[in-house]
Chain A
Amino acid sequence: MKKTLGNILMGIVYFVLYLPLIVMVFFSFNSGRGTTVFKGFSLKWYAELFSNSDIMVPLRNTLLLAALAAVIATVIGTAAAVYIYYVKSKAWKNTLNTVTNIPMMNPDIVTGVSLMLLFVFVGRLIGAKNSLNFFTLLIAHITFNIPYVILNVLPKLNQTDPHLAEAAQDLGSTPTEAFFKVVLPSIMSGVTSGFMMAFTLSLDDFVISYYTTGATFQTLPLYVFNMVKKPVRPHIYALYSLIFLLVLAVLLFTNISGMKDNKKKKNKSK
């Protein structure tokens, strides 16, 4: 009895959670352009996406930015996590952890505005005409991604045996070899989840991008936001349906393979 009630409640929660997405996907197949009248099934908005439309420019920008920012943030964040892990002094370690957390707690708007002020200040100092550009946007995205990578990698490091790297070095590997052949593989799942998180955060960031973008580069969230005066065109629904589908595929895949990994580990420990 309790269980069915629980299940019903869960059902309702998930239904409400996913309803907006379902509506969006549904209307992406509308042959008309409104979201109130369904005029008939059609794939024309998907065809629209892949034909001549300018929507591909902001989409490409967003994906390029997210991929670059995620890769760089993952490298820097992993390195930082390893450093924090090996720090001996307790006080220093706590300080570092707090400093890592602050940018995450900070409202986006504060991060965005302060980064913009910094970029403009430096830009004026070196006399640049465009002190905001693709690189400032990239730096901003790397900045807000790094703490999330650290937060994903550090717990993995804490789970590993601190003597692993030392053992590897005892057996004749250089410190670099020990890191890449022993430490890194054992924290790889943390690194990948950090990367995925950074990638998705970059993908849909609006506020920070709003303040730090320049005159030549616009991301998809900004592009869509600026359509306020006119109704959003259905090919945007089609685009977001596809993005949702891809994200879903990636998540399903990582979860299923994660489940298999866990099973393997359980079998081994038996």
Chain B
Amino acid sequence: MKKLIAILLAVLMTAVPFALSSCGSDDTSGEVEYRAEYTRDYEGTSINVFNWGEYISDGTEGSFNVNKAFENLTGIKVNYITYDSNESMYAKLSAGAVSYDVIIPSDYMIERLISEDMIQPLDFSKLTNYDLIDPQYKNLYFDPDNKYSVPYNVGLVGLIYNTTMVEGTPDSWSIMWDAKYADQILTFNNPRDAFAIAQFLIGVDVNSENKADWDAAAEKLKEQNSVLQARVMDEVFQKMEGGNAAIAPYYAGDYLVMVENNPDLAFVYPKEGTNIFVDSVCVPKNASNYDAAMMYINFLMEPEVALANAEYICYASPNTAVASNPDYSYYEEEILYPDPENLPKTEYFHDIDPEIRSYYEKLWDGVLLAD
């Protein structure tokens, strides 16, 4: 009998969020004015949006809830789910078992998806907000004719360091090999980003198709093992904010979040050059609700929506309406929107030949084992 009460408790646990979600406020609609016109022609249909985790303004801490606002505006239900990397998104997509309507891969992944005929051209006649996109992010290498993608976020990798622990102002990736800071240095825990740093430093192409170039970079990485504290991804926030490490490479936008918690941190774009990425919105070949997807993509480019996303994600927005808005928290923020003249050379990652890819992955294993 009393065990029944335990079951009842479990049922109660299940019921609570249902009750809560039904009385959740929908105060995100209303006030906002939109540039484009949105019909309710697709009311009752749904779209499947597949995006990076934590990559949209979702209503937390009083922010604008993009998906809910779109649902209220158009009556289209948004099934929003997330992935952790371009590769796992690609795996899900290429299995062909599920139909997604909107995906947001990075540059090199878009190049691969186009070459494998997995995404379809967008109908730009319906994307009336496309003129807001900064021309410098149009016609990029992966989509030279602007047929398949609309830029969503732009980011740059740079060097974050703790001014109380590092002497002077570093300007080179070479500080990540400096024995003076042994056990104070962090690096990326994924091969492509970690290799890129070594490649910039020794001056070889990050997209090299030559195995010897990768060998050289791997040798450089092995030299770094003795001074490294750890290879990290999001753990970098804790370590840098807590002063547990002195030097780490990470994304410019994320540095701005870290410095709020630890004002001793500083940021620099090393002189050897750095990686730039663009994440763009695409529509897979097997999408089920193409027209609603166009409406959603156009909605993402709305000045208010793009602003909310830029504030939430903290990466640079390719939307001119955001960058020119004086109310934007990062308005004229030099780290996020650097003057191209002060910036060292920037390189996009390209989709690398599978043979070279498996070759450098093997080298990466070697680097890890040499630890």
- In the complex, whether B124 has a CB less than 8 A from a CB of chain A is no
Q: Which of A35, A55, A129 contacts B238 (CB 8 A)?
A: A35
Contact status A37-B83, CB under 8 Å: no
Q: Which of A70, A223, A246, A257 contacts B3 (CB 8 A)?
A: A257
Contact status B53-A131, CB under 8 Å: no
A36 to B96, CA, bound (A): 42
Known A227-B53, A231-B237; judge A215-B3 contact (CB<8 A): no
A188 to B78, CA, bound (A): 42
Chain B contacts for A133, CB-based, 8 A: 98
- Among A190-222, those with CB < 8 Å from B are 192-193, 195-196, 199, 213-218, 222
* Min C-beta distance of A34 to chain B, whole Å: 5
Most chain A CB atoms below 10 A, which of B20, B81, B238, B241: B81
Chain A contacts for B10, CB-based, 8 A: 67, 70, 195-196, 199, 250
Contact status A53-B60, CB under 8 Å: yes
- In the complex, whether B65 has a CB less than 8 A from a CB of chain A is yes
* Min C-beta distance of A39 to chain B, whole Å: 9
- Among B77-101, those with CB < 8 Å from A are 79-85, 95-100
How many interface residues does A have (CB within 8 Å)? 64
- In the complex, whether B129 has a CB less than 8 A from a CB of chain A is no
Contact status B234-A232, CB under 8 Å: yes
Contact status B3-A192, CB under 8 Å: yes
Dominant SS among interface residues on chain B: mixed
- In the complex, what residue of chain B is closest to A256 when comparing beta carbons? B2
Contact status B261-A34, CB under 8 Å: yes
* Min C-beta distance of A127 to chain B, whole Å: 12
* Min C-beta distance of B104 to chain A, whole Å: 12
Contact status A192-B4, CB under 8 Å: yes
Contact status A52-B27, CB under 8 Å: yes
Contact status A32-B261, CB under 8 Å: yes
Stretch at the interface among A58-66, A90-98, A99-107: A58-66
Chain A 72-110 against B: per-residue CB contact (8 Å), 1 yes, 0 no? 000000000000000000000000000000000000000
- In the complex, whether B54 has a CB less than 8 A from a CB of chain A is yes
Q: A129-B286, A228-B233 are in contact. List 7 more A-B contacts (CB 8 A).
A: A54-B59, A54-B67, A63-B14, A189-B3, A195-B7, A226-B54, A231-B237
